[in-house]
Amino acid sequence: MSAAEARRSFLKAGTAAAAGAFAANAVRPAAAQENPRQDPTPAPGAPTDPPGGAQPRGENDVRADYDGFSRYQPSRGNDPDSKWYIGKEVPGFRRGEEGPAPFIAPDVEKLPYTMENGWKVFRLNCTPVRREFLPGYYIDVYGFNGSMPGPTIEATQGDKIRVIVKNDLPEPTSVHWHGLELSVQDDGASHLTQNMIEPGKEYVYELHPHEEGTFFYHSHVAMQETFGMVGWFIIHPRKPFDPPVDRDFGLIFQNFRIDPMTTVVDSWGMDFNWHTINGRSGPYTTPLVCRHGERVRIRIMDFSPIQHHPIHLHGHTFWVTGHEGARVPKTAWIPRNTELIAVAQASTLELIANNPGDWALHCHMTHHMMNHMVQHVGPRLRGQADTERYTANLETRPAVDLNSKALGEVPPGYPQMMQGMKMDPRAMEKVWNRREMKGMRATAPKTIHGLFTALRVLPDDLYRLVMESDEPVEKGAVFAEIVRRFGDYGRYQWAPMMNMNGGMNGGE
Amino acid sequence: MTRPPLLRLAASAVVAGLFAAPAWAQDAGRATLDGPLAAPPPVPTGGDLPVPADIPELHAADDDPIGRRFVEPPPVPEAPRGLGTVVEREQNAAFAGAPLTLDEALELAAANNPTLVQARAQVQGTLGLAVEAGLWPNPVFRYVGEQIGVDREGETDTPGEFQGATLTQEFVTADKRDLSRAKFLQRTRVAEWAAVSQQWRVCNDVRVHFYQALGAKETVAIREDLLKAAEDAVVTAREQWNLGQATRSDLHLANVALQEARLNLLMAENDYLEQFQTLAALIGLPLETGAVVGELDGESAEIDFEQVYREYLDEAPQVIMARQKLREDQITLKRELVEPIPNIFVEAGSGYNFEALETTGTASVRFDIPIFDRNQGNIRRAEADLVRQRREIQRTEMLLRRELATQYRRYLTARQHVEQFAEVILPEARAAYKNQLDAYAEDRQQWPDVLTVQSSYFDLRQRYIGHLVALRTSETLIRGYLLHDGLNVPDPLPPGHLDVTAQPR
């Protein structure tokens, strides 16, 4: 039995999700494909029942259906004025009294604190950072505590917070607490409210946040901001927001100008060519993974130097429930598919993950969906991408066919060659060696570029397979299973396996 | 562009008003309509505008509204006569003849350069003077008939008192002949050093022009690569045009750059032809242009200015020649100093004495008495020549120092450039080029940028060749006593004040 077959067997035998899996389905006629949405008998792995069953007990109890809106199926509801419309106030599974859901900013650590006489004391060092934007691409930026973005500061409304900032940069700095209504001497506006923190020196900020919501801290030196000096400052409400969410994700979108052959940010550059989400570029961004039916909050902040980002989520309609200033009253929530977020703004989106699948979450500016935009003219366009014939003898160069007629045979605009990507197998291993990527289509990294990540909505069993088990999962298996359960498997085509070392399972 | 009639009328009126409106004509428009009008300037129309010479097929598509409709890129211009694309040229026609090495060139020049024969002939000529100057003066035969028609008692006129013949021999005194021979032999030595100088001139020139030809040949090779780069840039621009990443202007400018690269290659080939034929002329043979074969690059010992100059003072043909000439002038002075010592002319003969009616003999001895002409003028000139020649040695040494300084400056500059190009600039440029190629291979660089760096690298290599040629030229001239111009007539011998006399002395 081959490794692939063994893994298929696992999915068949080891998980309920894969009970009717691929081997059997692959030989069925397309017309006989099981479609759970039309099958009155719940198939194994059908929508997960909420705790306590699907029957409502009270108005805000967790249930499957709310006035025509389904937690488990794409749906709108019956009345735009209803509190359940597009899942507006549909609660998550988590009970409000359990407190806020853990804030998760993928690829960014949380800043620990110590309690000292009732103060939460955080230590923040301003440091140069070498951040791996993509596997093998180590970019020189600035950040905090060796991280760019800096570690997340998490607090609760009403805390007494002391942040001891040490400047380990070679130049003065100061730290601004963006959005807080604080004492002016602690605002961190360089020169305006304080002397700069000289290299090697410390400055203590004392904060008494009466606010709750999405905030952030950043250097108040423009070029240092361009170098990436920012971090989340999440202040949870003393009284948890209603409805409670199951997931609370945070994504910081950033741009950098880094010339193609350097690793150093050009802080003067105006033409941004590297794009990161929480310090990583697609396909190295870490997908957000949630369970089918959960209520999900995604906080997105734009800390690009000068560019806005229209953030688009596929497969769902979300409610904009807050910005960086404050939670928006429910009467002003807006349902959207795309949220335009300007520089230094943050938006909070909430949705019921009622549509299983791997859903693109990305900036819709086309140049933000790629890195290092280079023209593809030259030998590459002539089918001679291999430059060895140039490097074999640098003292002379190969001739070109000046009489080439090829250009007249293709329509204007072709070929741009922007539809592909090239990454060495070891880099691809790094992309795939993350739990959050398990079971995605093998070609997923071909489109996850730049300001691009994915929201994975997985039925409970598949969620556990991906996020809680160490079982190997074949590339595309989870996705295919979702198609099998919720789509039309007869029309589904597996992704080619992208010529990776190790064959179909390479990189795992 | 044709102006609307009203506008044209108004424009004419205003212009005419400027020229013709009198002071009373406040209403310029009416005045120009009613009053006398100056001839309005012609209104240019589209059809009347001068059109520069154009190549219709090159710019046919430019008449389309710019940027409103896709048109094919302009055609690639034809290559100038004698030059196809690099792809089509398997071998450069400039190097078709037999190959030539430096050693071969030197051997051929030694055998065929006409100035070397001239120099040797000059030595022979001077040697002839030495022979001539040392020869005994010829005896002088004289027929003597004295007192013809003398009456003798009892007889009428006699044929003369004496009829006979004498031989006169000049006896050169004071070793004048030996001194004269020594003087001209010394001058022969001067001529020999002039011939040596000429050999250096020829050898140096052959070397210098061989290196220059070699440099020109390597420049041709680099120009070919630059042409390939220009051709690539044209293809790249056309690709960019197809992708909306270049304007039509970019394509035209790429064509311009291509044509310039082609001309640059042709110019480099022309330079090579000139260099090779110059070399052939120095060799002294009408050679068919072929490829020179050799290395421009290579280690060479560093030259020290003072050391070289000290060597010059001991070895340079120019200095030795001047010193030999001084020796000649010293002999000349000696020779002139003995000139006042009179030569003795001894005459003896025999004849018939018709008065005594018997055969008699005759004898005489004579010599100049140096009372008035003691050769003092020539001695003074010889002394002056001696002084002049002493300074000539010094002048030669200083001239060499000055020329060495100039050449040494070129040498230093060339050597510094060659070293830095070889050790830093070219490796850096090559690394940059390699870096660009590697980046391109990783989709991290754009081809037009690669081409730019590539061209820079080839340009730098071309400059390196120029510095190498300059270095080899300077080295050759410095090592070769700064002698050059191997086709000039060999140096004339230094002037002597008595050279023009019929009989040298």
B36-55 pLDDT tens trace: 444 544 544 444 444 455 56
From A369's Cα to the closest Cα of chain B, the distance in A is 16
Domain ranges of chain B: 83-136+176-211+273-340+376-480, 139-171+344-374
Peptide bond between residue A415 and the one before it cis (omega within 30 degrees of 0): yes
B261-277 pLDDT, tens digit each: 999 999 999 999 999 99
Residue A250 in this model has a pLDDT that exceeds 50: yes
Contact A375 B245 (CB under 8 A): yes
pLDDT bucket at B343, cuts 50 / 70 / 90: very high
Q: CA-to-CA distance for B255 and B286, rounded, in angstroms?
A: 39
Residue A32 in this model has a pLDDT that exceeds 70: no
pLDDT bucket at B307, cuts 50 / 70 / 90: very high
pLDDT bucket at B3, cuts 50 / 70 / 90: very low
Q: Which of residues 324-383 of A touch B (CB under 8 A)?
A: 372, 374-382
Q: What is the CATH code of the structural domain delimited by B83-136+176-211+273-340+376-480?
A: 1.20.1600.10
For chains A and B, CB pairs below 8 A equal 109
3-state secondary structure of B388: helix
pLDDT the model gives residue A27: 34
Whether A260 contacts chain B with CB within 8 A: yes
Question: Higher confidence at residue A127 or residue A35?
Answer: A127
Lowest mean pLDDT among A123-137, A435-449, B146-160, B444-458: B146-160
B425-446 pLDDT, tens digit each: 999 999 999 999 988 888 888 8
Contact A375 B441 (CB under 8 A): no
Q: What is the DSSP string of B28-55?
A: HHHHHHHS--PPPPPPP-TTTS------
- Phi, psi torsion values for B409, nearest 5 degrees: -60, -45
pLDDT bucket at A40, cuts 50 / 70 / 90: very low
Whether A407 contacts chain B with CB within 8 A: yes
From A52's Cα to the closest Cα of chain B, the distance in A is 54
Count CB-CB contacts under 10 A for residue A465.
26
User: What does the mean pLDDT of chain A come to?
Assistant: 85
Lowest mean pLDDT among A219-233, B154-168, B182-196: B154-168
Lowest mean pLDDT among A117-121, A145-149, A291-295, B377-381: B377-381
pLDDT the model gives residue A405: 55
A355-405 pLDDT, tens digit each: 999 999 999 998 888 877 778 888 888 876 678 899 999 999 998 888 765
Q: CA-to-CA distance for B153 and B366, rounded, in angstroms?
A: 34
The 10 Å CB-count burial string (b at 16+, else e) for B422-431 is eeebbeebee
Strand partners, A235: A155, A213
B457-492 pLDDT, tens digit each: 999 999 999 999 999 999 999 999 999 999 988 877
pLDDT the model gives residue B450: 95
Residue B99 in this model has a pLDDT that exceeds 80: yes
Contact A401, B238 (CB under 8 A): no
Partners of residue B230 in chain A, C-beta under 8 Å: none
Q: What is the DSSP string of A409-475?
A: GS-TT-----S-----HHHHHHHHSSGGGTT--TTGGGT--BSEEEEEEE-HHHHIIIII------T
Q: Which helix (H) or strand (E) holds B319?
A: helix B317-338
pLDDT the model gives residue A327: 94
pLDDT bucket at A414, cuts 50 / 70 / 90: confident
Strand partners, B165: B143, B350
Nearest CB to B434 within list A379, A394, A399: A394
Strand partners, A339: A311
